[in-house]
Amino acid sequence: MIGFIGLGIMGHPMAKRLVEAGFNVVVSDLDENKVEDLISIGAIRGNNRVIANKCELVILMLPSYESSIDVLFGDNGLISSENNIVKYICNMASISPGESIEISDMLKEVGIEYIDGPVSGGEAGATSGSLAIMVGGNEGVLQKFEKYLKHLSSSITLCGSIGAGSSVKLANQVIVNGTISIIAESFNMLEKSNIDVTIAYDAIKNGLASSKVLDRMIPFLVSREFKAGGTLSINYKDINNIIKTADNKLISVPHSVIVKDQMKTLINRGESQSDHTVLIKYYELINS
Q: What is the DSSP string of 219-251?
A: HHHHH---B-SSBHHHHHHHHHHHHHHHHHTT-
DSSP state of 274: B
Per-residue burial over 50-72, b if 16 or more Cβ lie within 10 Å, else e, is bbbbbbebbbbbbbebebbbebb
Burial class (CB in 10 A: 0-12, 13-18, 19+), 132: middle
Pairing mode of beta strands 57-60, 2-5: parallel
How many angstroms separate the CA atoms of 55 and 86, rounded?
6
Residues identified as active-site: 169
| Region for residue 111 given its phi and psi (left: phi exceeds 0; alpha: psi -120 to 50; beta: otherwise) | left
User: Alpha-carbon distance 218 to 170, whole Å?
Assistant: 24
